């Protein structure tokens, strides 16, 4: 079974359904219940449900912000490394906590990453998650410095 990245850059469903990954989601679920129990509904607390939320979020992100995306939303993708950090308090925990906070604050019944009418709401969710990850130092903005020896035309292109 190939558990590497999907060819289109989205989430590989085989990875998120693998037994060892679902076992790691027990750790994520326990962390969420300890730190954000008031936000987590019982139907979303199973390891499989949490894995599906992250997988759908990654696929939505790839469709809207990936290399083949046509829309301009003014943000970059959250790195896959953050999604697959399943350690207690790791990237997956922080992403799911932010997602559940967003869902609770907006009064949403469920996450809907497939409906076209929800696209703006989901982009807003990704922006909130990105800001939360930046504030918690789980995501870093890369700074690029360009030497003075590079001509102005090249600077603009870069």
- Is 71 among the domain residues? yes
Selected residue with higher pLDDT from 44 and 51: 51
Mean pLDDT of 35-48: 82
Distance CA(80)–CA(63), nearest Å, equals 14
pLDDT at residue number 93: 96
139 to 7, 37, 51, 59, 73: CA distances (angstroms)? 24, 24, 20, 19, 19
Q: What is the pTM of this model?
A: 0.84
- Is 5 among the domain residues? no
- Torsion of Cα atoms, 81 then 40 then 112 then 16, to 10°: 40
* Residue 128 pLDDT greater than 50, yes or no: yes
- Is 33 among the domain residues? yes
- Cβ(33)–Cβ(101) under 8 Å? no
| Helices 19-36 and 91-106, packing angle to 10 deg | 50
Selected residue with higher pLDDT from 4 and 122: 122
pLDDT at residue number 11: 77
pLDDT confidence bin for 127, thresholds 50/70/90: very high
Full domain range(s) for residue 126: 13-157
Distance CA(86)–CA(94), nearest Å, equals 10
- Is 6 among the domain residues? no
pLDDT at residue number 1: 47
Q: What share of the chain is helix, strand, coil (3-state, %, to 5)?
A: 60, 0, 40
Selected residue with higher pLDDT from 57 and 142: 57
Residues in the chain, total: 158
The per-residue b/e assignment along 78-111, b for 16 or more CB within 10 angstroms, e otherwise, is bebebbbbbeebbbbbbbbbbbbbbbeeeeeeeb
pLDDT at residue number 78: 93
Selected residue with higher pLDDT from 69 and 63: 63
Domains in the chain: how many in total?
1
- Is 4 among the domain residues? no
User: Sign of the CA dihedral 71, 82, 114, 10?
Assistant: positive
- Is 37 among the domain residues? yes
């Amino acid at each position: 079974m190939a558990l590497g990245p999907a060819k289109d850059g989205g989430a590989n469903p085989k990875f998120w359904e693998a037994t060892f990954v679902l076992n790691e989601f027990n750790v994520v679920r326990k962390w969420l219940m300890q730190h954000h129990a008031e936000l987590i509904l019982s139907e979303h607390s199973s390891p499989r449900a949490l894995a599906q939320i992250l997988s759908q979020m990654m696929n939505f992100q790839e469709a809207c912000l990936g290399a083949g995306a046509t829309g301009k939303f003014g943000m970059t993708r959250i790195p896959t490394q953050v999604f697959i950090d399943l350690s207690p308090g790791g990237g997956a925990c922080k992403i799911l906590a932010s997602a559940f906070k967003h869902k609770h604050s907006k009064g949403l019944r469920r996450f809907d990453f497939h409906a076209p009418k929800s696209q703006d709401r989901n982009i807003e969710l990704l922006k909130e998650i990105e800001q939360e990850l930046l504030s918690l130092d789980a995501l870093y903005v890369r700074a690029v410095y360009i030497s003075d020896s590079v001509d102005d035309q090249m600077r603009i292109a870069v």
